[in-house]
Structure 1
Amino acid sequence: MAIAAFALSVLAVFVMPAALAGVVCGHLARHQIRRRGERGDSWALAALIIGYLLIGLTAAGFVLFGGFVATFFGIMAGAG
């Protein structure tokens, strides 16, 4: 499950909803690894880091885009 979480998080560079799936799978994988004493915690941790980073960058992009749009329409409304 840890490798699947990592793959989903990396796929999120191209398909954003995959980041959410990567984060969820990463948390599930870390829980499973701790409970069963399995290996792969580093893969799950990498998936969580990448997933959360991409989610944060996407949120920041939406905020910046919204600010640009609001500024643009504010300038256009004042020009007319």
Structure 2
Amino acid sequence: MVIDFNKPSSLIHEIQLEQFGNWNLFKFSNSLQLRMEELLEKKKADQITPDEMAELEAIGKFDRIFTHINAMLAAQYAN
């Protein structure tokens, strides 16, 4: 997977909508989730390259954005 850090929209196809009960929430595709886990393991083992670290940080930003959006959706569903 190649992430264009100057074009975050390059990851848009890696974002999916999944139904959880009556809720629809955003989540990463399986390939993006696996890539994030692989990079986290490399970081833990202190074997991550600077490019991989930048990739992990970019994925992490998307993770925080979608966590926030999902929390907003959950709050709306709760009302």
- Greater RCO (Cα-Cα under 8 Å, separation 6 or more): 1
* Superposition TM-score, scaled by structure 2 size: 0.50
Q: Which has the higher helix share?
A: 1
Q: Which has the higher Rg, Structure 1 or Structure 2? A: 1
Q: Which has the higher strand share?
A: 2
